[in-house]
Amino acid sequence: MKKAIRCIRIGVDCIANVPVDVRSGGLEYLGFDFNVKKEEAEEMKKFIVDALNSFEIPLSSMFCYGEVDLSEDNVWTKEKIIEELIKIGKTINDLDFKPYNYVHSNDEEMIANMLDNFEYDPSKRGKVLTKYDKLKKHIK
């Protein structure tokens, strides 16, 4: 029997859903939920912010909302997160409506406030984009 891995749940809100969908029972925000290893949670939050920036996916908020024990197969890795952003992120970017309360993920102050001990460094953006462009080529 495989040992369970303690994970932190990270919620990522990208854009506000349209009001009619929310009133119909839809989610208030469209985004992602990732279960990452507890000991890697801070590093993974930074990675997610960088990845969202790389794919130009907006970021409204990020939060941790619980802990859960999971098998290795259900834990999100950096590769799985990139795969999901490629798959779902395009849909988010292609939406025709302007989101409500939209804050672009390049807002340095907002990012710094979200992540403890993290300062956004725009000078590293080129390195991050190159890294993810290489990863994208290997993920189909």
pLDDT tens, residue order, the chain (140 aa): 578 999 999 999 988 888 888 888 888 888 899 999 999 999 999 999 999 988 888 899 999 999 999 999 999 999 999 888 887 766 666 654 444 444 444 444 444 444 444 444 555 555 555 555 555 555 44
DSSP-derived secondary structure for 48-96: HHHHHHHTT----EEEEEEEEEE-GGGSPPHHHHHHHHHHHHHHHHH--
Tally of CB atoms within 10 A around 33: 10
How many Å apart are CA 72 and CA 2, to the nearest integer?
A: 8
Angle at 73 between CA 135 and CA 64, to 5 degrees: 80
